[in-house]
Amino acid sequence: MINVTFPDGAVRQYEAGVSALDIAKSISEGLARKVLSAKVNGQVWDASRPISEDANLQLLTWTDTDGKSTFWHSSAHLMAEAVESMFPGVKFWVGPALDNGFYYDMDLGDKKLTEDDLVVLEKKMNELAKQNNAYQRKEMSKAEAIAYFTEKGDEYKLDLLQNLQDGSITFYTQGNFTDLCRGPHIPATGVIKAIKLTNIAGAYWKGDEKNKQLTRVYGITFPNQKELDEYLLMLEEAKKRDHRKLGKELGIFTMDEDIGPGLPLWMPNGTIIIEELEKLAKETEEAAGYKRVVTPHIAKENLYITSGHLPYYADSMFPPMEMDGEKYYLKAMNCPHHHKIFAAEHKSYRDLPYRIAEYGTCYRYEQSGELFGLMRVRCLHMNDAHIYCSKEQFFQEFKAVNDMYLKYFKIFGVDKYVMRLSLHAPEKLGQKYVDEPALWKETEDMVRKVLIDTNTPFIEVPDEAAFYGPKIDVQIWSTIGREFTLATNQVDFNSGRKFKLEYTNKENQTDVPLIIHRAPLGTHERFIGFLLEHYAGKFPVWLSPLQVKILPISDKFMEYTNEVKAELRSAGIRVEIDDRSEKIGRKIREAELSRVPYMLVLGEKEMTEGKLSVRRQGKGDLGSQTIAEFIGTVVAEIKNRTEE
């Protein structure tokens, strides 16, 4: 007999060799039907795998993340079975579970999959699922496995085998499909009730663009149709707040073929948002001791040779323009220009920290396939600044930048993000990273300490640092789930020397400053793209391109309407009148859809009382207010940058 301990601490005795599925059955048949896999001593196992020793056991079902993963990974195998039955001779690479669904990479030879094929595949998968075939686990020696795949001529699985230890190699079979796989899997295919293959994509083998491109099919499955329907509905809803759709609807930005890909045109409404953001940045930076600078959009080649961006990043820059026998480049970053401002006047330790800021316009030649609405563009306006400081000042300066991030996040109600501390990889010193092991350790420790001291949750990611130093990136997700770096805060102990930046220290010696590169509001493009989705187009009053729309009941009240408008405007409020001869219902509907935060309905009653009927977007009628009351509210919301 063995002792099995459950998550609630209860201990029960079973025969050795009992499976998690047996145990579930002993509790209830209903539970047994729901079990997908089990966590045995912290490892996720097949529910049917015999347990031979005392163990901690957690039964995993659809409501557990690990249970879902098992379900989706098994679904990938089911898809592979369907693909193999349709296209014999197909070779498979890997087919993992994702956060939402699964994919499988495959080599289909010359066969090109179409969307029609997906429909047929879904049908086949449904048939196979109904057969309720068990997933059977089989251990195999490495030699046997190699022989098996050599005979099949499957170079992909042979490649996978190379990195596997003999004794740990397992195969899984369900129906007519057998695959090298570490598992675990669900007991049988029958629980997969709703299947949707979502898209076909090319994916480089092993993620290396020099390798052959395999066919990747993405899909998602559920234990019932209802959840699939809900998932598809959620995707539809998400599309409605896609910044590309909202940007067009609200007149924020536009793209034009004649201007060029990745080059957004900011329309009047978008420009108002840009100006409000810059106002916020300027206020915040002035209070934090930054000075503003302005630099040209182009520079000579030599600047980028000094910075080290050429030739290594030449691919990401627009090709040079030749003028007077010199090559000029559009700037892809502002740092070298700012370094030259630092170097223009001699600095002493009394001038440090020296902080200069600019909403700098940069141009980057992003690959055509990478462009994505406002989130990934070729012309960007960066909330950039550089801080030049001594080693002693670094901690305080870096912390102040971190505090500025958090302050901004509070203003915008940004709560779904991950702070990522990007570190170097010691084995790549001298190649990918500047060869200064001591400086790396020192700065990484300082950056980590800032995060810990400010109680900022973060994750550490090795081998993701900039070549000149560690950094903190703020990761966010677009509505459709794509990940982006919104903001960045970087340490640079390299450019100071490269640009021969110096200051005279207290001991009257020459010293090289540390540099902090920071962009808490990222770029206008990405930040406004993010805000559009974050607010679903319903900007807070201070950011809203139009703040108040006045809706007169009829043109009999135009005189009063114009008076009200003039008063609001002189209070600094962005206001417009809907003077069409439409019914009030129509005006309200369209004002609501345009997401203007406040609407004022003015008619006979308001005119005689000298009041306003106030309506808030999404909330309906707020009742009657005096002009002074209303102006007071709106002006306070603007001044305090109130979110709602």
Partner RNA sequence: GCCACUUUAGCUCAGCUGGUAGAGCAACUGAUUUGUAAUCAGUAGGUCGUUGGUUCGAUUCCGACAAGUGGCUCCA
Positions at the binding site: 335, 386, 517
Q: Which of residues 453-482 bind RNA (CB under 7 A)?
A: 466-467, 480-482
CA distance 614 to 16: 73
Q: Which of 151, 182, 179 is nearest to 83 (CA)?
A: 179
**Identified binder of RNA from the candidate list 41, 348, 367, 396, rule CB under 7 A:** 367
The alpha-helical segments, DSSP class H, found in 50-199 are 65-86, 115-130, 142-152, 155-162
| Shortest spacing between CB 107 and RNA, in angstroms | 12
Q: Which of 155, 187, 261 is nearest to 20 (CA)?
A: 187
Give, as one character, the DSSP assignment of residue 317: S
**Identified binder of RNA from the candidate list 370, 392, 460, 463, rule CB under 7 A:** 370
**Identified binder of RNA from the candidate list 68, 195, 613, 631, rule CB under 7 A:** 613
User: In this structure, which amino acid lies at residue 146?
Assistant: I
CA distance 540 to 481: 24
| Shortest spacing between CB 597 and RNA, in angstroms | 12
Q: Which of residues 44-63 bind RNA (CB under 7 A)?
A: none
What would the DSSP string read from start to end of 508-569?
A: S-EE--EEEEEETT-BHHHHHHHHHHHTTT---TTT-S--EEEEESSGGGHHHHHHHHHHHH
If the CB atoms of residues 203 and 627 are measured against RNA, the closer one turns out to be 203
- For residues 604 and 579, the answer to whether their CB atoms sit within 8 Å is no
Q: Is 497 in the site for RNA (CB under 7 A)?
A: no
| Shortest spacing between CB 47 and RNA, in angstroms | 30
**Identified binder of RNA from the candidate list 92, 266, 372, 527, rule CB under 7 A:** 372
Contact mark string toward RNA, 247..276, x via CB under 7 A? -x------x-x--xxx--------------
Q: Which of residues 112-151 bind RNA (CB under 7 A)?
A: 112-115
Contact window for RNA (CB under 7 A) among 177-185, 189-197, 367-375, 447-455: 367-375
| Shortest spacing between CB 298 and RNA, in angstroms | 14
CA distance 331 to 624: 54
| Signed CA dihedral, 521, 525, 531, 533: sign only | negative
Number of residues engaging RNA in binding (CB under 7 A): 73
Q: What are phi and psi of 333, to 5 degrees?
A: -155, 160
**Identified binder of RNA from the candidate list 240, 410, 428, 586, rule CB under 7 A:** 586
Give, as one character, the DSSP assignment of residue 316: G
Q: Is 237 in the site for RNA (CB under 7 A)?
A: no
Q: Is 236 in the site for RNA (CB under 7 A)?
A: no
| Shortest spacing between CB 380 and RNA, in angstroms | 10
Q: Is 616 in the site for RNA (CB under 7 A)?
A: no
Q: Which residues are annotated as a binding site for Zn(2+)?
A: 335, 386, 517
Q: Which of residues 522-561 bind RNA (CB under 7 A)?
A: 553-556
If the CB atoms of residues 260 and 289 are measured against RNA, the closer one turns out to be 260
Q: Which residues 6+ apart lie within 8 Å of 624 measured at CB?
A: 606, 609, 611, 612, 613, 614
| Shortest spacing between CB 401 and RNA, in angstroms | 16
Q: Is 317 in the site for RNA (CB under 7 A)?
A: yes
| Shortest spacing between CB 584 and RNA, in angstroms | 4
Give, as one character, the DSSP assignment of residue 469: B
- Helix 391-412 and helix 437-453, axial crossing angle in degrees, nearest 10: 40
CA distance 206 to 156: 10
**Identified binder of RNA from the candidate list 369, 416, 455, 510, rule CB under 7 A:** 369
If the CB atoms of residues 60 and 532 are measured against RNA, the closer one turns out to be 532
Contact mark string toward RNA, 168..207, x via CB under 7 A? -------------------------------xxxxxx--x
CA–CA distances in Å: residue 336 to residues 306, 339, 366, 412, 490: 9, 5, 20, 31, 15
Both tokens of 399, joined, read 């912390």
If the CB atoms of residues 377 and 531 are measured against RNA, the closer one turns out to be 377
Q: Is 605 in the site for RNA (CB under 7 A)?
A: yes
**Identified binder of RNA from the candidate list 126, 306, 485, 633, rule CB under 7 A:** 485
**Identified binder of RNA from the candidate list 2, 371, 400, 461, rule CB under 7 A:** 371
**Identified binder of RNA from the candidate list 8, 209, 322, 415, rule CB under 7 A:** 209
User: Can you tell me which residue has the tokens 């039907």?
Assistant: 33
**Identified binder of RNA from the candidate list 333, 379, 514, 596, rule CB under 7 A:** 333
Containing H/E element for 449? Answer: helix 437-453
Q: Which of 495, 474, 489, 491 is nearest to 519 (CA)?
A: 489
If the CB atoms of residues 57 and 113 are measured against RNA, the closer one turns out to be 113
**Identified binder of RNA from the candidate list 601, 631, 634, 638, rule CB under 7 A:** 601
If the CB atoms of residues 137 and 611 are measured against RNA, the closer one turns out to be 611
If the CB atoms of residues 148 and 313 are measured against RNA, the closer one turns out to be 313
- For residues 622 and 615, the answer to whether their CB atoms sit within 8 Å is yes
